[in-house]
Amino acid sequence: MLSTGALFALAVVATVVLAALPALRPALTRGRRGRILAFVTLFLLPALLTAGGLKAHMEQAKSTEFCLSCHVMEPYGDSLWTEDAAYLAASHFQNRRVPREAACYSCHTDYTMFGDVNAKIRGLRHVWVQYVSGPPAPEEIELYSPYRNRECLHCHGGARAFLENDFHVEMLAELRSEETSCLDCHGDVHDVATVGERERWTPPGEAGE
Amino acid sequence: MSVAPAGAETAAAERLDRRIRLAAVLVVLGLMFEALSFVSLHPVAFFAFLAPGALLVVVGIAIYLWSIASVRT
């Protein structure tokens, strides 16, 4: 069975071949069949393929591999493997509370292209900073705005363990209104400044690989 | 109904051909950039998909639509 990527590639190749016909012999499009060919290859298929391709890229951008493909993000990736359950990102990642293949996106759903217009503009700026002006040190990177409880409550909000904790229930209104941040109590998240010095968790069976 | 002179018709047909060719070249180039952008999983690949890829396709489609909309029969 062909993967989505292979099907997309095949569709692109077919469209390119067909669209090359009016490019080489535009007079073909004067007849009825030629007009239909031109409409399909110069409008319908390219529009569908571009929309499908954009969707595929957006999906790929949710992957952990995509986020960590920039060098400056590597310590954040390393912090997911920290051998210390106190670190929120590490404990979520290692215990599969978030899918490992989309770990970053699970907790940062409004980052760059997934956020509002300002977030998208910041995403453009990040590319500029990465390749032109030079990125800051990983430990100097900060969120543009305080981390929102929405990201935590999306999963924990209705969870039994959360609701059976009296303290959480007492604070629920404050948490929902963002008056109090979840990170006020659960504050150790990535701590990339010291990630190199901390022990790294290796899943059993993967030692020495 | 007025009939355009033969020379004018030929010129209009040639103009249409030129626009169709330009549109097709842009669409083909754009689709090739879009396809190549899937070779890598990286923010730069995403930008390569958007520009030049999608940008060329959109401009090509716009030129094609404009060319068929501006045809006078």
Mean pLDDT in residue range A64-91 = 92
Using a CB-CB distance cutoff of 8 angstroms, which residues of chain B are in contact with residue A13? 35
In a domain, residue B26? The reply is yes
Angle between helices A45-60 and B6-36 (to 10 degrees): 20
pLDDT tier for residue A51 given thresholds of 50, 70 and 90 = very high
Whether the CB of B61 is below 8 Å from some CB of chain A: the reply is yes
pLDDT at A194: 87
In contact, A20 and B28? CB cutoff 8 Å: yes
In-domain check, residue B2: no
Domain that holds residue B41: 8-69
**pTM of the entire structure?**
0.84
pLDDT at position A208 over 70: no
> Within an 8 Å CB–CB cutoff, is residue B20 touching chain A?
yes
Domain boundaries, chain A: 7-60, 64-194
ipTM of the prediction = 0.88
Kindly give the parts of chain B with pLDDT less than 70: 1-6, 72-73
**CB of A64 closer than 8 Å to CB of A74:** no
Tokens, residue A121: 């503009």
Please state, as a whole number, how many other Cβ atoms lie within 10 Å of the Cβ of residue B23. 28
Q: In total, how many domains does chain B have?
A: 1
Asked if B35 lies within 8 A of A13 by C-beta distance, the reply is: yes
Asked if the Cβ–Cβ distance from A12 to B17 is below 8 Å, we say no
Decide if B17 and A26 are in contact by the 8 Å CB cutoff: yes
Q: Does B71 touch chain A (CB under 8 A)?
A: no
